[in-house]
A and B are shown apart, each in its own frame.
Chain A
Amino acid sequence: MVDWLFVALFKYRLVVFERGDLVFDAPWPLAVVLLAGAAVAVPATVIYARTHGRLERRDRVILAGLRLGAIAVLVFCLARPMLVIATVVPQQNFLGILVDDSRSMRIPDQSGAPRGNYVGAQFSPDGSELLSGLSERFKLRFFRFAEHIERVDDVGALGYAGRRTDLGQALHSARRELAGVPLAGLVVLTDGADNSGTPLTETLLQLKAAGVPVHTVGLGSERFEKDIALRRVAPPRAVLRGSSVSVDVTVTQSGFGRETVRLTVEDAGRILSSQDVRLPAGDEPVTVPVHFTAEESGPRVFRFRIEPHEDEIVTENNTLEALIVVEDDRRKILYFEGEPRFEVKFLRRAIAEDENLHVVVLQRTAENKFYRLDVDDPDELEGGFPDTREELFAYDGLILGSVEASFFTLDQLRMIGEFASQRGGALLTLGGRHAFVEGGYAGTPLAEALPVVLQQDAANEHRFFAEVKVELTPFGRSHPVTQLAASADESEARWKELPPLSTLNPLGEVKPGASTLLLGRTEDATDSYVVLAYQRYGRGKVVAFPVQDSWQWQMHADVPLDDLTHETFWRQLLRWLVSDVTDHVRALTSADRTERGIPVTVTAEVTDSGYVRVNGAEVFATVTAPSGDVRRVPMEWTVERDGEYRTEFAPEEDGLYEISVQAEQEGTSFGQARSFVQVGDMHAEFFDAEMQAGLLQRVAEETGGHFYTPATVGSLPEDVSFTESGTTVHEERDLWDMPVLLILLLGLFGAEWGYRRTRGLA
C-alpha cells in the first residue's frame, strides 16, 4: 500500500530514488532558468509588498510565500530534473542465489509450513513470478549452504539436513566462486540462524569493497508462538567424584508463561536430579540453579532436559548436554594450624570418609613444636612449615588457621601467595585470634591474595568477639559449596536453621572481583560480616572463612546427631577448592562438545618443578578417537604467553575423543594432562532458531542490499536490477512530470486563492 502510494505520487519506487543521482537537463542554461524565475518572483513579491488597503503585514507575507512557492515549483520543472540510475543489462549479469540448507529450515513456522517449502515453491523449475522476474534479468547461479557451501543446479537438490549454518563462510565462498563473472549481487534465502560463531564483519566489508550487494530474504517467524528452550548450561570443567555439582541452566519460553515444567538431569539414562521450574511470564530468560552429585568417575555427558510439550514448534531445543570430567584422584591439602583448636578435630572428621581428599595437618602445639597428622612418610614436614616452593607446591591446597603473620618469613609469605597465583593451588584462610588483621597480615604479601580487605588500622585493642547467624548471599544460593540439600529451597531453609558461629575477625569488605557466598549477621542484626568469600588470584583460588568454630554445626545441641551439614559443607568446600588444581601440565580444549569437521584447538600450559613456565619443552598431544585410532600431534609454543603450547585437530568420528598432552625437556618429563571432547550431533540448528531479522538487515544494509520477507520479496527482481555491479547501463528518468509536482502546484495556487477569498481580497 505504501509502495503503491509512493509510486502514484513520485512516479518511481523508492529504490530508484535511493540508487539514482539527481541531475538537471534544462534546454537552456540553468542560470537563465533561475534568472527567469527571479524575474517573475521579484515583481510578484514587490506587488504584494506595495499593496495597501486592507492587507495586513501577515497577509502580505503569506500570499507572497504561496506565490513564490508556486514559482519555485515551476522553475524546478523548467530545469528538467531527472534521476540517473545504473541498471543491469538483461542477461549480461549473474546473480548468486544462496539457499540455507540447514535443518532449521525444516521448522514449520513459515505460514504453518516448513521454511524450506517456501524456497521450493518460489525457485522450483516450474517457475514462479519471482523466479521468472529474476531469470529475465539475470543468469542465476544457485548455491546451497550449511556448514559448507556447494553449487547446485536448482533447489531440488536441497535436503535441509545441514547441522550448522555458517553464513559468513557461505557469502565469502560464493563471492569468490563468482569473482570471474559480472556479478550483480547475491540473494540469500535463510532464517539467519547462524551458529558458526564466526564474526561477519570482515566478510561484509569485503563484499562492500567489491561492490556486491547482498539481498537477504528472511524465512520463518521472529518469535515462536509456542516453545520452551534450554538456552545455556554452565557446568564446571572438572569435579571430584562424589562432589555436589551446581549448574546454571538458562530457560526461555514463548506461549507457556507462568507454567510449571519439570527439569531433569540424567547421566547415561539415570536420573540424577529432577525439579519443577516455573517459567517466566515474559520473554526474559530465567536462570535455574540445578544441583546433583557426580557419582561415576571419568568423562561424563550429563543431559539436561525439559519434557517437550505437545504444542511446541521445536522440541529439539528442550535438551542440552554438558561434558564434565569426574576425577577420581586423591587431592592433598596441607592444613597449617598455629595452635590446637577444635576446628582441626572436626575438619578431619568431616572429610575422614572422603577418599578423594587427604588433609595433612601441621599443628603448632608450643613454640617451635609441631604435631603432624596424616603425613605420607616420616620425613614429610619434618622441618615445620615448608620453606621451599617444591615442598609447598607439592600440595594441591593450603589451609591457614590461626597463625600470626610474623611466624612466616617474608619469603614464605610471598611463596604462599605464589602458591595460588603461579602454582594454581587453592588457599583457604580460617578465622582466629591470629588470623587476618588480628594476625598482622595487613600490608603483607599475603593480604594482596586475600578476597577480603584488611584495614591496617582496624586491629582492635580489645579482643573482638561476635556470634553471627550465617546467611546465604544471592550468589551463595547457587554456588556448589553452599548447597546443603537436594534443592536450592531446601538448602536455603537448612542454612536458616543452623546455629550461629563466632568470629574474632570483623571483616566487612571484599575486594572488587571477589564473591561473597556467606554473610554473618549479629543477633540484633546491626552488623554483618563476611563469613565466606573467594576470588581468583592468578591461576588459583583464594578463600576467606573468617569464623573460628564451624564445628558448632556438628556439636551444637540444636543440630541432630544424624545431621551431615558440617561434613557436607567441608567436603564440598575442599572438593570445590582443589577440583581444578592441576599439576605441571594443564590441557584445555576450545570446546568440550562439538561436531565432526569443526577444528578443535588444544592448548597446554607447561611448568617446571617449581611451577615456572617453560617455553622450550617438547610437547605432544596424543589424540585418541572413539574408534581407537591414535594420532600424535606436536604442539608449538604460542609465543604470546610463556609456557603455552597449541595445536589443532579436526575430529572425524562421533563419540568421545581423549586428548593426552605430554611435555618433556632434555629427557625430563614434566608430566601429562588429559582433556576430552565429545563429538556428535549438537542439534545446534534448533537453538536460537527463530528468524534473525536483525542480522539479516545488517548484512543487507552493510553491503548495499535490501532485506525482504516473503511478503515483500515481490520487488526483489527490480531492486536487484539497480546496481553498479556487473555490466550496467545508465538510464535517465524524468522527474518534472511527477504527479506530486502538479498536485503541489495546484495546491499552492489553490491555497493562495482560498486565502484571498477568506480575507475578502478576491
Chain B
Amino acid sequence: MAESYLHDEFPEATQGGADPNVVDPEPVMGNPTAPSQDRKAVKAEQRRELVRAPSFIIGAVILLFWTLCAIAPGLLTKWGENEVIRLEDGSTIPRAAPSADAWFGTDTIGNDVYARVIYGADNVLINAPISALIAVLAGAVLGLIMGFYRGWADEILSRIIEAILSLPVILLAIMVLVVFGSSRLVIVLTIAGLFTPVVARTVRSAVLTEAQLDYVTSAKLRGESGWFIMMREIFPNITNVLIVEFTVRVGYAIFTVATLAFLGLSGGDQTAADWGVDIANGYSLIQSGQWWVSIFPALAIASLVIAVNLIADSIEKVYKA
C-alpha cells in the first residue's frame, strides 16, 4: 500500500499541473464561440498537418503502392507469380540479369522476380496488420486492467511481461509454430501474442497517468463500476496512444512475418510468391553473382517497413503537438 499512501497524501503539494500564468506559445484561442466547430477544427487541423507532412506523404505513397499490389497484382505485371517468362521465340531465361524483358531479372526457374515481388505483397500486408490489431486490442485490455486495478494482478502480469520481453521474439515464435504448425491463423495469433506484452506495458503506463486524475476519483465517488471507468472514462483518453502503438506494431509485424517466411514458416503454399520465402530461395545465389533474386524482395520489405515507420512517426508527432 506504500504507493497508494503517497497518492493519498501528496496531491495538495503539487498545486495542479500547468502554470496558469505562462502564456502558451501556441495559444489555442480561449472563449470559442462555436464549440463543435472548434473541436472539429482541431481535428481537421491535425489531419491537415498530417497530410502535409512530407514523411507522411512518402510513407503513404509507398504503402498505397504495396496495397494495390496485394489487391490487384495483375494490374502491375503481365506475368503470374508462378509463370515462367517465355520470350517471343518461346525460350525461357532462367537466372537472367535485370533487363527490358525482366526488370528485376529472373530466378532459377525462370520466373519474373518483378512479378514475384508484386505478388508477394499480400502475405505480409494481410498478416502484419491483423496481428498488430489483435495485439493492440489484447494489450489495451490487459494494460487497462493492470493500470487501473494495480495490486497483485498487475504485479504478476508485469513479471510475466518482463520475462517474455527478455526473450527474442523470433525464437519464441519458432517454438510456438513448431508445436502448433505454421498455418496463417497460428502465425497471426503467435505474432499478436508476442506483441501483446509490449502494448500492454505502454497502455498500462498511460492508464496509470490517467487513473491518478481526479475524474477517475470522481467516477468512483459516484459509484461507477471498474469496467465502466476503464472502458468509458479512461479508454477514450488513451486512443491516441493506441493508434500510435498500432502503427509502430505494424512495422515490427511486417518484419516478423517476413523473417518467419524466410525461415520457412510462411503459413501457405510454399510455391506462392512471398518476399521472405523468395529471399530464402535466392540468397545463396548472391555468391555466384545473381544478387537480384534476393535483393529485390529484401528491398520490398525494407520499403514497406520504412513506409509504415514514416507514417507512425508523423502520426505520433501530430498527436503529441
Q: Do A and B bind each other?
A: no
Seen from chain A, the residues whose Cβ lies within 8 Å of a Cβ on chain B are none
Seen from chain B, the residues whose Cβ lies within 8 Å of a Cβ on chain A are none
